[in-house]
Amino acid sequence: MKKVLITGASGRIGSRLIPYLKEDYSLVLADKDVSSLTDWNADTMTVHSLDIVNKEECERVCDGVDVVIHLAGNPSPSTPYDEVKTVNMDGTYNMMAAAKEAGVTRFVFASSIHAVKGYPEDVQVKTDSPVRPLDLYGVGKVFGEALGNYFAYQEGMEVIAIRIGGHMSIELGIKAGKQPKKDQRSSYISERDMNQLIKRCIEAELDEPFLLVHGISDNEYNYLDLSDTKKKLGYRPEDDGFRVFETYQ
Cβ atoms of residues 106 and 97 within 8 Å? no
Q: How far is CA 232 from the centre of its chain?
A: 17
Q: From the candidates 25, 93, 137, 188, which is the catalytic residue?
A: 137
**Among candidate residues 46, 52, 44, the one with its CA nearest the CA of residue 70:** 52
Residues in the chain: 249
**What is the DSSP secondary-structure string of the chain?**
--EEEEETTTSHHHHHHHHHHTTTSEEEEEES--GGGTTS-TTTEEEEE--TT-HHHHHHHHTT-SEEEE--S---TT--HHHIIIIIIIHHHHHHHHHHHHT-SEEEEEEEGGGSTTS-TTSPBPTTSPP--SSHHHHHHHHHHHHHHHHHHTT--EEEEEEE-EETHHHHHHHTT-PPPHHHHHTEE-HHHHHHHHHHHHH---SSSEEEEEE----SS-SB--HHHHHHH-------HHHHGGGG-
AA letter at 200: R
Confirm whether 221 is a catalytic residue: no
AA letter at 41: N
Cβ atoms of residues 249 and 240 within 8 Å? no
Catalytic residues: 137
